[in-house]
Structure 1
Amino acid sequence: MNTDWAAALLHPRRVALVGVSDDPNRTSGRPLQFLRRAGFEGEIQVVNPRRETVQGERAWPSLSALPERPDHAFILTDTDKALDALEECQALGIPVATMLSAGFGESGEQGAANQARLADILARGGIRLVGPSSIGVVNLHAGLTLTANAAFAEPDLPRGGIFVGSHSGSLIGALVSRGKRKGIGFAGLVSVGAETDLSIGEICATTLDDPKVTSYMLFIETLRHAEDLRGFALAAAERGKPVAAFKLGRSEEAAELAVSHTGSLAGVDEVADIFLKECGIARVESFEGLLEVMPLLERVPATALPRRGRVGVVTTTGGGAAMAVDQMALRGVEVVPASAETRARLRAVGIDAGEGRILDLTLAGAQYDVMKAALDVLRQAPEFDLVLASVGSSARFNPELAVQPALDAAQEPGTPLAVFLVPDAPEAAQRLARAGVPAFQNPETCGDAVAAALSRRTPRRQAPLDPGGADRPAPTVLDEAQSYALLAQAGVPVAPHVVLGVDDPLPDLPFGWPVVVKVLDAAIPHKTDAGGVVLGVADKDALRAAIATIRDRVAARTGGHRVERVLVQQMTRGVGEVLLGFRRDPQVGPIVVLAAGGIYTELYRDSTMRLAPVDRAGAFEMIAELKYARVLDGFRGAPKGDLAALADAIVGLSQLALLHEGRVAEAEINPLFVLPEGAGVCAIDGLAQVFDT
């Protein structure tokens, strides 16, 4: 069988349209019209068992009846017939098929049966599938508009270097239509649908060595095939081809989930955010940002170390520039004033730089010589990572003059340059787009794209992703003593403790008073809620009383649950306390989380995370990102905490990703006390879950 699906996907010599309608206005009739209009040079084979001709072209009753086997079949029928057609494709050795039909895992009992049959066909091998629920694949450079998306009726779609992978079929049409208005061209677009077989990562990877593809846009709804996506992103970074993504999932509703536990702090969107960042993928917050960010990514290199991003702003309209500045600042981008040296260079070319953060040229900046001179000076200044030129009303009424300084300056070496167009100036935007100059047409998109570009990191290489857990039974919850043993194996210091039976004679403790006494029972992970904690126990008599109190309170609050054992732990205090957690995410695999600990975990949304394992440099980055870390670093003259020991604990806990053959599902320390500088850290409470072998 011919299994060269990668070539057949976007460069087929023959395509078969299965179930194509005679009505070109129907969804299933569009692909034939689109292929003809686009000038597809390959052979188009029409399959329709009910008609001898379709839209004036000969139709064949089945795939088997075709005189030559197609390379790519686009299946446009209902679900039952689609599965029959896919089965025929597999038997004939057709390398790849795209399936428009829905009605699978998302459609109840019948959908589950359809999904099972689909899986059985694919398991036989010899064919790869895009979909189901895919609206098609497009290669504009080859005239391959193998899609039912109505937007491809648009004539003269501009061609470019951007390749799009999208979970949403309608969005590929939105991108090309909006892109045409902005002068943005595409190389190809694929709607992956349900990703039952071929994933966004696999499909994009087939284009990595295509010289006509220079960058990638992704519209993502889920990280269902995270390892494929990461492998593609790493390879794209090696080739210098930037990747941008817009992922659904940012919402206040999602944010409200991140309150107290590792599993909540590491919500779906938070995990996606760090996954994309560590893959070197620039995540934008808006659909318009996705459209406009690419020229900027092609000019602003990713960095190995974190940077906030320093932007110099020059404008002909102070109010317009202020809007962009506000939006950048909201996203952590720093707009910095010109240095004394740069101001002196500006004065030397006749420009009064003033003292403000923004260089406002006023109406004089509408003159070519003034704006060009300012851009030349600012783009040679070492204090900026990016220069943003804000252009006022002249961009609409004199586009050929207003943006010419930026067009000319962008051709010369220097700091990356972008343009914010304050008025609605479509012609100016298209001029900039054709020249590849980053241009933004509203302040929110400008702030979004600039922040995404300046925060983009080079991908971090690590062990293969191991999501695990998806097909395993629920993990077993360990009690606190067992959890401490697991933490100790990972190199995380735990507070001195002993385990006592509630009816056992009280021994002499191997550590001093006071102590805390806790119920020790895997069935009671939240001990305080169950009345299972007594603090400040000062001696043996108080210890005996504390055990009796815990036994009675737990029984009263849990419907008679019998307490068998308690954990007695030496009390200590630290400079501060953090939550340190590990979790095996079902989509992207192991992650490590650092957050403000104790009651602050519930009060503040202050957390950071990484894919695990992390190294020491990554651990210090995490600490620096935590707002609460200021408390640990001698805020207002307070004692400094042992941040080096905290970094070591983060590294140690993240090693649970590799220890015990991937059996650790989750582990959480809350709180982890950070002791004074040089004294280390100490886990005061721990909870872990493991998968049974």
Structure 2
Amino acid sequence: MAAETTRPTLAEALFAPRSIALVGASDDTAKTSSRPLQYLRRAGYDGAIYPINPGRKTVLGEPAWPALAELPGVPDHAFILTPTEDAVDAAAECARIGVSVATILASGFSDADEEGRKLLARLKALRAASGLRILGPSSLGAINLHRRTVITANAAFAEPDLPRGGTFVASHSGSLLGGLVSRGKARNLGFAGLVSVGNEIDLSLGEICAATLDDPEITGYMLFLESIRHADDLRAFALGAAARGKPIVAYKLGRSAVAAELALSHTGALAGEDDVAAAFLADCGIARIFNFETLLEALPLVRRVSARRPGAGAPRIGVVTTTGGGAAMVVDELAMRGIEVVAPSPETHARLGAAGVKAGHDRITDLTLAGTRYDVMKAALDTLLGAPEFDAIIAVIGSSARFQPDLAVKPVIDSGAHSKPLAAFVVPEAPDALNMLAAAGVPAFRTPESCADAMSAALLRRPAAAPAPSSRRVASRPTRQLDESEAYALLAKLGVSHAPAVAIQIDAQGPFDLPFAYPVAVKILSAEIAHKTEIGGVVLNVGSEAELKAAMRRIAENARARSHAASRVLVQPMTAGLGEFLLGYRVDPDAGPLVLLAAGGIYTEIYRDRSIRLAPVDLDTARSMIADLAISRIFRGYRNRPHGDMEALARAIVALSRLAREESVQVVDAEINPLIVKPVGEGVIAVDALVALARREDT
């Protein structure tokens, strides 16, 4: 066998191979394993194709080879179509002869059963011992439409004349690619390439996308994610895409409210997998959308919008329409996502009038039937796009888009090059109008929900991509919990104030010379008990030494009744303020360290009012976390209440988040609940704390 003169790059082997082996190719057109050869020939792939089938001399009329070792040259890419039990042997042969990339179609490589674990172990050992890169298993393949490389078994690619474009799609779901391709063709939205990443035992979604970054035919990325895997690769890709001005839009499954395991703290439940994923994607500058249709429609808008600055106010949108009802639907959807539609200023309204545009001075600039005239709609768009009070403009187009599509969308297309983002929502079912807008590069939406979703993703939920907050590897498995007194000592080192506290032996007789006055709170002091109230380990408003002794006895009895040993209590003065927050820190096994702010005290479990960022954070980010919470409005003079010390709260968030870089100790879970907020100038104070340290072998 003759080897190729040069080894291809990863991107070349995946998406532009000079030769492809189809291991297990079938001659039966009814079988999945016959599809790749059909698709490659139909697409016009001009490289060498080697069907491998030991039982046939020809496959679909083309010469076949009995084994990889019998080929006249080493293929760049092998698509392994054999059943699961034979796929590992085929991959081993690929490694032996020097194939660069093997894509494995078969499933069954799972940790769920013993046989699956053995197969996975064999593949991983094979990868470690060779230069073979593996896509999958359970991958439906890799496609480059510009190079006519259609290495897939997905039935959707039987579709002829698929439009080509600048978007690259990477998906955890292989079958999902077919949905995007068919929907894209209906909207004349083309793709540059697509990949089904499967189980990611070797090549990750992030690494694959990163390999394509310098392809000039790729202008943006769509991701369909089931979870956040290989977070470092995904972040590196996102940073590379941001540096090249190539936007990323992601749709992620798993938004249900099924909570994460409670773990040590409430933070574990509040920071569920999807919440952490949202924080991670935002930190990477990836625009996350929540409507599947938006995945197809959002990139043109995201491409036009700069990343959001920390602390930036809510975006302001102007809406111009020929149909008030259609525009009202968009306004409602935007409002539910925290985006305000604002009326033109008096100056802008006057300029509209001077341009011959008659419209009421309302939030919606309704042109009525006059807006179906080119000159009226164009004058209105030009005026609104030039107005400083708007961050973006939405043109809502009515029935004329269906019956006179060229006339209805022409003013929008002609205004689309303005520096300010302009998008269109087309109210009727008007595919021709949508296709014209798409061809002109104007963001266009078929539903008010997807229009608002894309606006929110582009303008509200997409900060600039940031390098990894922590360069230090941080463990995620806890081994021991600090008692509350030890936790306070760590907080003090970080710069977080806590209430005065005195530890007392439960069998001590007194008298007790407390450094603070009664009334006091008495709590069991133990590194074994995370939630003290659940075992009757807390007594509040203790007003005298006699009551203190009684409280200590009661706590000891409650602990014994629940099989806990109790030798000490912690005594603190009763502390009041304007309200309470929960401030937490946690190391996620995929995304890494994160910090969480939520409603505190008894409200933590009632309201899921929380904000999450990757740790550590700076002051601006901490302030934005506070602004995210609905409850924070109470501390900003709501109904003449005193203002809380929000700057002190922001400093506390920053301080706790520094655990991500703390060298003296590795904390995997920490929580202050409640963190009492005092009036402006008086700070914040912790009155309960939990801290769990990482296992020694993870350090």
> Does TM, scored on the shorter chain, surpass 0.5?
yes
Q: Which residue number in structure 2 is paired with residue 356 of structure 1?
A: 362
**Which amino acid letter does the alignment assign opposite residue 684 of structure 1?**
V
- TM-score after normalising by structure 1: 0.96
**Which amino acid letter does the alignment assign opposite residue 361 of structure 2?**
E
Q: Deviation at 1:254?
A: 5.0
The 8 Å contact of residues 259 and 265 in structure 1, kept in 2 or not, is answered as: no
Q: How far apart are the structure 2 equivalents of 1:399 and 1:258? A: 57
> CA separation of 1:335/1:445 partners in 2, compared to 1, >3 Å: closer, same or farther?
same
Q: Which residue number in structure 1 is paired with residue 3 of structure 2?
A: none
Q: Which residue number in structure 2 is paired with residue 599 of structure 1?
A: 602
The 8 Å contact of residues 2 and 95 in structure 1, kept in 2 or not, is answered as: yes
Q: Which of 99, 102, 113 is residue 97 of structure 1 equivalent to?
A: 102
- Is the partner of 2:88 in helix, strand or coil? helix
Q: Deviations over 1:127-157 (max 9, x none)?
A: 1111000000000000000000011111110
1:178 and 2:183 aligned: yes
Q: Deviation at 1:464?
A: 4.3
**Which amino acid letter does the alignment assign opposite residue 489 of structure 2?**
A
Q: Which residue number in structure 1 is paired with residue 382 of structure 2?
A: 376
Structure 1: gaps spanning 5 or more residues:
none
- Is the partner of 1:250 in helix, strand or coil? coil
Q: Deviation at 1:2?
A: 4.2
Q: Which residue number in structure 2 is paired with residue 451 of structure 1?
A: 456
Question: 70-79 or 633-642: which moved more?
Answer: 633-642
**Which amino acid letter does the alignment assign opposite residue 483 of structure 1?**
A
Q: Deviations over 1:429-474 (max 9, x none)?
A: 111111111111111111111111111211123434667546x5x4
1:334 and 2:337 aligned: no
Q: How far apart are the structure 1 equivalents of 2:664 and 2:79? A: 43
> CA separation of 1:257/1:421 partners in 2, compared to 1, >3 Å: closer, same or farther?
farther
1:493 and 2:462 aligned: no
Q: Which residue number in structure 2 is paired with residue 274 of structure 1?
A: 279
The 8 Å contact of residues 580 and 672 in structure 1, kept in 2 or not, is answered as: yes
- Is the partner of 2:624 in helix, strand or coil? helix
Q: Deviation at 1:660?
A: 3.7
**Which amino acid letter does the alignment assign opposite residue 162 of structure 2?**
L
Q: Which residue number in structure 2 is paired with residue 639 of structure 1?
A: 642
- Is the partner of 2:143 in helix, strand or coil? strand
> CA separation of 1:467/1:439 partners in 2, compared to 1, >3 Å: closer, same or farther?
farther
Q: Which of 18, 29, 33 is residue 13 of structure 1 equivalent to?
A: 18
The 8 Å contact of residues 258 and 267 in structure 1, kept in 2 or not, is answered as: no
**Which amino acid letter does the alignment assign opposite residue 321 of structure 1?**
A
**Which amino acid letter does the alignment assign opposite residue 677 of structure 2?**
V
Q: How far apart are the structure 1 equivalents of 2:259 and 2:484? A: 30
1:409 and 2:415 aligned: yes
- Is the partner of 2:221 in helix, strand or coil? strand
The 8 Å contact of residues 321 and 365 in structure 2, kept in 1 or not, is answered as: yes
- TM-score after normalising by structure 2: 0.96
**Which amino acid letter does the alignment assign opposite residue 13 of structure 1?**
R
Q: How far apart are the structure 2 equivalents of 1:579 and 1:330? A: 26
**Which amino acid letter does the alignment assign opposite residue 383 of structure 1?**
E
> CA separation of 1:583/1:374 partners in 2, compared to 1, >3 Å: closer, same or farther?
same
Q: Deviation at 1:116?
A: 1.1
The 8 Å contact of residues 311 and 386 in structure 1, kept in 2 or not, is answered as: yes
Q: Which of 246, 254, 257 is residue 241 of structure 1 equivalent to?
A: 246
Q: Deviations over 1:27-63 (max 9, x none)?
A: 1110001001111111111111111111111111111
Q: Deviation at 1:523?
A: 2.1
**Which amino acid letter does the alignment assign opposite residue 633 of structure 2?**
R
- Is the partner of 1:433 in helix, strand or coil? helix
Q: How far apart are the structure 2 equivalents of 1:535 and 1:464? A: 40
Q: Which of 279, 294, 319 is residue 313 of structure 1 equivalent to?
A: 319
How many percent identity over aligned positions?
A: 57
The 8 Å contact of residues 476 and 689 in structure 1, kept in 2 or not, is answered as: yes
Q: How far apart are the structure 1 equivalents of 2:346 and 2:466? A: 37
> CA separation of 1:307/1:22 partners in 2, compared to 1, >3 Å: closer, same or farther?
farther
The 8 Å contact of residues 462 and 613 in structure 1, kept in 2 or not, is answered as: no
Question: 147-156 or 529-538: which moved more?
Answer: 529-538
Q: Deviations over 1:572-601 (max 9, x none)?
A: 111111000000011101100001110121
Q: How far apart are the structure 2 equivalents of 1:640 and 1:46? A: 74
Q: Deviation at 1:539?
A: 2.8
The 8 Å contact of residues 620 and 647 in structure 1, kept in 2 or not, is answered as: yes
Q: Which residue number in structure 2 is paired with residue 143 of structure 1?
A: 148
Q: How far apart are the structure 1 equivalents of 2:161 and 2:472? A: 45
Q: How far apart are the structure 2 equivalents of 1:607 and 1:662? A: 27
Q: Which residue number in structure 2 is paired with residue 682 of structure 1?
A: 685
Q: Deviations over 1:71-124 (max 9, x none)?
A: 111111011211001111111121111110111125511111111111111111
- Is the partner of 2:533 in helix, strand or coil? coil
**Which amino acid letter does the alignment assign opposite residue 93 of structure 2?**
E
Q: Which residue number in structure 1 is paired with residue 666 of structure 2?
A: 663
The 8 Å contact of residues 578 and 679 in structure 2, kept in 1 or not, is answered as: yes
**Which amino acid letter does the alignment assign opposite residue 352 of structure 1?**
K
Q: Which residue number in structure 2 is paired with residue 653 of structure 1?
A: 656
Q: Which of 606, 615, 619 is residue 618 of structure 2 equivalent to?
A: 615
Q: Which of 182, 196, 208 is residue 213 of structure 2 equivalent to?
A: 208
**Which amino acid letter does the alignment assign opposite residue 288 of structure 1?**
E
**Which amino acid letter does the alignment assign opposite residue 490 of structure 2?**
L
- Is the partner of 1:528 in helix, strand or coil? helix
1:325 and 2:331 aligned: yes
Q: How far apart are the structure 1 equivalents of 2:555 and 2:399? A: 73
Structure 2: gaps spanning 5 or more residues:
1-5
The 8 Å contact of residues 260 and 271 in structure 2, kept in 1 or not, is answered as: no
**Which amino acid letter does the alignment assign opposite residue 437 of structure 2?**
L
Q: Which residue number in structure 1 is paired with residue 483 of structure 2?
A: 479
**Which amino acid letter does the alignment assign opposite residue 357 of structure 1?**
R
Q: Which residue number in structure 1 is paired with residue 466 of structure 2?
A: 460
**Which amino acid letter does the alignment assign opposite residue 669 of structure 1?**
I
The 8 Å contact of residues 259 and 601 in structure 1, kept in 2 or not, is answered as: no
**Which amino acid letter does the alignment assign opposite residue 401 of structure 1?**
L
- Is the partner of 2:648 in helix, strand or coil? helix
Q: How far apart are the structure 2 equivalents of 1:588 and 1:99? A: 27
The 8 Å contact of residues 260 and 273 in structure 2, kept in 1 or not, is answered as: no
When the two structures are aligned, how many residues end up with a matched partner? 688
Q: Deviations over 1:212-242 (max 9, x none)?
A: 0000000000111111111111111111110
Q: Deviation at 1:511?
A: 2.6
1:45 and 2:33 aligned: no
Q: Deviation at 1:25?
A: 3.1
Q: Which of 127, 131, 153 is residue 132 of structure 2 equivalent to?
A: 127
**Which amino acid letter does the alignment assign opposite residue 665 of structure 1?**
V
> CA separation of 1:154/1:254 partners in 2, compared to 1, >3 Å: closer, same or farther?
farther
The 8 Å contact of residues 259 and 603 in structure 1, kept in 2 or not, is answered as: no
> CA separation of 1:514/1:608 partners in 2, compared to 1, >3 Å: closer, same or farther?
same
**Which amino acid letter does the alignment assign opposite residue 314 of structure 1?**
V
> CA separation of 1:258/1:278 partners in 2, compared to 1, >3 Å: closer, same or farther?
farther
Q: How far apart are the structure 2 equivalents of 1:527 and 1:641? A: 28
The 8 Å contact of residues 612 and 655 in structure 1, kept in 2 or not, is answered as: yes
Q: Which residue number in structure 1 is paired with residue 400 of structure 2?
A: 394
Q: How far apart are the structure 2 equivalents of 1:574 and 1:243? A: 44
1:190 and 2:180 aligned: no
Q: Deviations over 1:484-534 (max 9, x none)?
A: 222222221111111111123434122332211111112222111111111
- Is the partner of 1:500 in helix, strand or coil? strand
Q: How far apart are the structure 2 equivalents of 1:573 and 1:278? A: 35
